[in-house]
Amino acid sequence: MANIDYKRGTYSIPAHATQQFTFWWGRDSKTPDEFFDVSIAPHFDKNHRAMEPLRQTARTVVWDTTAGVGTVLTWTLQNPNNFPVTFEANHVRIY
C-alpha cells in the first residue's frame, strides 16, 4: 500500500511577469521510487474577480542527489493579469 505525504507553500507572482518556481520534497525523498508533483491554486481576490489563469510556459524535472533533495520540479509561470497573483502550491508525494 502506498503512503501519501502533503505539504503546501504560498507564493506570489508580479503583474505581467514570467517567473521560475522550484519545488522539491526534501531530505527524506526516496527518488526515483516515488511520485512527486505540485498543483497550484490561486487565492481569491475580491478586488480582481475577472482574473485570468496563470500559464505554465515551461516545466522540467531533474533528480538532485547531491544534497539529498530528490526530485526537483521547476515551473515557469506567466501572470497575464495587471495585478500580482498569490497562489498555494500543493506538494504531493506518493511512495
pLDDT tens-digit profile of 5-37?
Answer: 999 999 999 999 999 999 987 777 766 678 889
- Spatial contact of 25 and 70, defined as CB atoms under 8 Å apart: yes
Domain that holds residue 54: 4-94
Q: What's the domain count of the chain?
A: 1
- Which pTM does this prediction carry? 0.84
Q: What is the pLDDT of residues 58-87, one digit of tens each?
A: 999 988 777 667 788 999 999 999 999 999
Task: Cell numbers for 62, please give them.
Answer: 531533474
Half-sphere exposure of 1 (CA within 13 A, CB side): 2
